């Protein structure tokens, strides 16, 4: 687990887009200013950092020490985030929390047992909030959905990188988070989608690529410089303007126990 994103944390922190102010505002309003929130699979603090400005305290938990170090480095002076090394199997050992948020991390976990354990740990009004790319029920995962992705895919294949890692394969085949929650004690669901547009340049796209677990610097090893060179060249050959537009739709899915 430690090596899942080996060497990717600085690229993750710098190049992965956050969720946007509107999504974080909505999340904060839903959870309440006085709440203590567990951010499970926090990465470098994509949610924990902006959320900490709007809630009482954030417990930011991740199994990757590099991710935690990156988060700490970004907000050295912030005192209401506790960065904790751990994962979804140690929930009982954590200090108390009232709500849980998971940003693009739930799919790495044994989702059923996590929800069962949270049912024991969360107070009656406690919420489980998932944040991530919006995807319709039954819609397949589309690895080529963004304009640069066919090129990226080709280069990854050339370097023997398997884009269908465990997590990505999950997106294609496994049960949708909505269904999983609907069949859990947290079956009362509220979904909001926030849309934005981003513009990327070639440095951004190369950095973004190095933030993924399947093409992390650790996975590339000695091939890293050649990979960067080849990807950069292929992207610019495909689109000499050097600018790529991305439409981003982020879903904030809040699950509570019915009647609460």
Using rule CB under 6 A, residue 88 touches ligand SAM: yes
Taking the complex as a whole, how short is the minimal distance between the CB of residue 98 and ligand SAM, in angstroms?
A: 19
| 108 or 200: CB nearest ligand SAM | 108
How many whole angstroms separate alpha carbon 165 and alpha carbon 47?
A: 24
Taking the complex as a whole, how short is the minimal distance between the CB of residue 32 and ligand SAM, in angstroms?
A: 20
Using rule CB under 6 A, residue 253 touches ligand SAM: no
How many whole angstroms separate alpha carbon 220 and alpha carbon 89?
A: 29
Using rule CB under 6 A, residue 108 touches ligand SAM: yes
**Given 13, 37, 49, 67, the residue binding ligand SAM (CB under 6 A):** 67
Binding piece for ligand SAM, criterion CB under 6 A, among 74-82, 101-109, 154-162, 186-194: 101-109
Using rule CB under 6 A, residue 24 touches ligand SAM: no
| 89 or 188: CB nearest ligand SAM | 89
CB atoms within 10 A of CB 89: 14
**Given 35, 46, 184, 216, the residue binding ligand SAM (CB under 6 A):** 46
Using rule CB under 6 A, residue 62 touches ligand SAM: yes
Taking the complex as a whole, how short is the minimal distance between the CB of residue 25 and ligand SAM, in angstroms?
A: 16
| 6 or 232: CB nearest ligand SAM | 6
For residue 29, CA distances in Å to 48, 72, 148, 248 come to 15, 25, 35, 22
Q: Considering only residues 192-251, where is the footprint of ligand SAM by CB under 6 A?
A: none
**Given 26, 28, 37, 43, the residue binding ligand SAM (CB under 6 A):** 43
Binding site for ligand SAM (CB under 6 A): 1, 4-5, 16, 40-43, 46-47, 62-64, 67, 87-88, 103-105, 108-109
């Amino acid at each position: 687990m430690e090596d899942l994103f080996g060497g990717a944390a600085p690229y993750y922190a710098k190049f992965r887009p956050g969720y946007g102010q509107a999504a974080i505002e909505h999340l904060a309003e839903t959870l309440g200013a006085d709440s203590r929130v567990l951010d499970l699979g926090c990465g470098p603090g994509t949610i924990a950092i902006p959320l900490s400005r709007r809630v009482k305290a954030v417990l930011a938990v991740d199994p990757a020490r590099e991710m935690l170090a990156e988060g700490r480095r970004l907000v050295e002076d912030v005192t209401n985030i506790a960065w904790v090394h751990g994962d979804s199997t140690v929930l009982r050992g954590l200090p108390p929390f009232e709500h849980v948020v998971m940003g693009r991390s739930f799919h790495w976990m044994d989702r059923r047992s996590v929800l069962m354990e949270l049912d024991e740990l969360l107070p009656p009004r406690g919420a489980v909030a998932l944040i991530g790319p919006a995807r319709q029920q039954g819609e397949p995962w589309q690895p080529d959905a963004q304009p640069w992705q066919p090129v990226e895919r080709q280069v990854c294949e050339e370097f023997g990188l398997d884009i269908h890692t465990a997590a990505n394969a999950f997106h294609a085949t496994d049960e949708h988070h909505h269904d999983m929650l609907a069949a859990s004690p947290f079956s009362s669901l509220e979904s909001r989608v926030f849309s934005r547009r981003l513009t990327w340049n070639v440095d951004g796209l190369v950095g973004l690529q190095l933030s993924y677990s399947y093409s992390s610097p650790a996975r590339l090893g000695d091939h890293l410089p050649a990979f960067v060179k080849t990807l950069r060249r292929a992207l610019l050959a495909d689109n000499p303007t050097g600018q790529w537009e991305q439409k981003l739709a982020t879903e904030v899915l809040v699950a509570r126990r019915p009647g609460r």
